[in-house]
Amino acid sequence: MIGTFKKWVSGSTTEQVLSEQEMYEQIQKHPVPEHIGIIMDGNGRWAKKRGLPRTAGHAAGMKRVRETIRIANDLGIKALTLYSFSTENFKRPKEEVEYLMKLPIEFLRTDLQELVDRNVKVQMLGDKEKTPSYTQSALREFEVQTEHNTGMILNFAISYGSRDEILQAIREIIEEVEKGNIDKDQITEQVMSDHLLTRGIPDPDLIIRSSGEIRISNFLLWQLAYSELWFTEELWPDFSKKVFYQAILDFQKRNRRYGAV
């Protein structure tokens, strides 16, 4: 769960709340995660608490996406993967699915130029065949317009499921073996990683999930083998800059041993 944004005053039992600027300064003293993955959960519950339709929660969540991208970019994060729509989300009501699938079109209209100016490179992770053509077109436009950018990689995981991703990678490797391009004894973890949708991107150092749920929900299962996990009760539309900063500060305090002593 998230920590409180507090510090102890030397020689005193008084606690003081850390400001955003103080949190930012603390973060700058240590390396930041190269790759952060976020399971953005809680839009529907946020709306329900306010007596609003679920779509209002998704609209509020989109504003938080915009701010989170800016924060990550300003901190020098190299890759940010946002779990936007899972393969399981297709089970939701048709109207909600259609609304979610049209959000990239709106995001393209409002945010493309800023992402270009910020040198952010946008990519889609997911099953394009399951994704509506209009959503694919918007995401493809993002990819084309930012393909030469050299800054932070922004992955939108849409129509994404990690088990499907792993199965597809296995099929591709089997095909390579059958063609004689690789021997089965040459299949390594790196070969597997090279056939995943995140190929060429470091595995996530930190996985964040909002809304109080403590599970991974079929997100980057292969890639998160040694990721640090961080959960918060905050619903995604309430995922503020301070909460994001706290996740990174907590990450920086952890001792990552990768199985060693």
134-to-57, 66, 67, 129, 180 alpha-carbon distances in Å = 22, 21, 25, 12, 38
Q: pTM of the full predicted structure? A: 0.92
The conformation of residue 203, written as its DSSP 8-state character, comes to P
Which residues are CB-neighbours of 79 under 8 A, at least 6 positions away?
Answer: 34, 35, 36, 152, 153, 154, 155, 201, 202, 204
- Tell me the per-residue pLDDT of 195-233, one tens digit each, with 9 for 90 and over: 999 999 999 999 999 999 999 999 999 999 999 999 999
The span from the CA of 198 to the CA of 123, in Å, is 10
The span from the CA of 139 to the CA of 136, in Å, is 5
39 residue type, one letter: I
- Tell me the per-residue pLDDT of 103-150, one tens digit each, with 9 for 90 and over: 999 999 999 999 999 999 999 999 989 999 999 999 999 999 999 999
Specify whether 117 is catalytic.
no
The span from the CA of 223 to the CA of 199, in Å, is 10
The separation between CA 259 and the C-alpha centre of its own chain, rounded to angstroms, equals 25
What pLDDT score does 259 carry?
A: 66
Strands 15-17 and 6-8: antiparallel
What pLDDT score does 260 carry?
A: 63
Q: Name which of 244, 253, 251, 255 is nearest 5 in CA terms.
A: 244
Specify whether 181 is catalytic.
no
The span from the CA of 235 to the CA of 42, in Å, is 5
Query: What domains are there in the chain, each with its CATH number?
Result: 32-253 (3.40.1180.10)
Catalytic residue selected from 41, 111, 203, 205: 41
Secondary structure (3-state) at 230: strand
Tell me which residue has tokens 């996985």: 207
DSSP 128-139: GGGS-HHHHHHH
Q: Name which of 100, 9, 38 is nearest 248 in CA terms.
A: 38
Contact 179, 191 (CB under 8 A): no
- Tell me the per-residue pLDDT of 157-203, one tens digit each, with 9 for 90 and over: 999 999 999 999 999 999 999 999 999 999 999 999 999 999 999 99
Tokens of 222: 């292969």
What pLDDT score does 1 carry?
A: 42
| b (16+ CB within 10 A) / e for 31-59 | ebbebbbbbbbbbbbbbeeeeeebbbbbb
**Percentage of the chain lying above the pLDDT 90 cut:** 90
Region 81-99: mean pLDDT is: 95
Position 67 confidence tier, pLDDT thresholds 50, 70, 90: very high
Catalytic residue selected from 43, 73, 74, 89: 89
Contact 156, 124 (CB under 8 A): yes
Instruction: Report the mean per-residue pLDDT for the chain.
Output: 93
The span from the CA of 19 to the CA of 148, in Å, is 36
Position 258 confidence tier, pLDDT thresholds 50, 70, 90: low
- Tell me the per-residue pLDDT of 5-49, one tens digit each, with 9 for 90 and over: 444 333 334 445 899 999 999 999 999 999 999 999 999 999 999
Tokens of 231: 């959960």
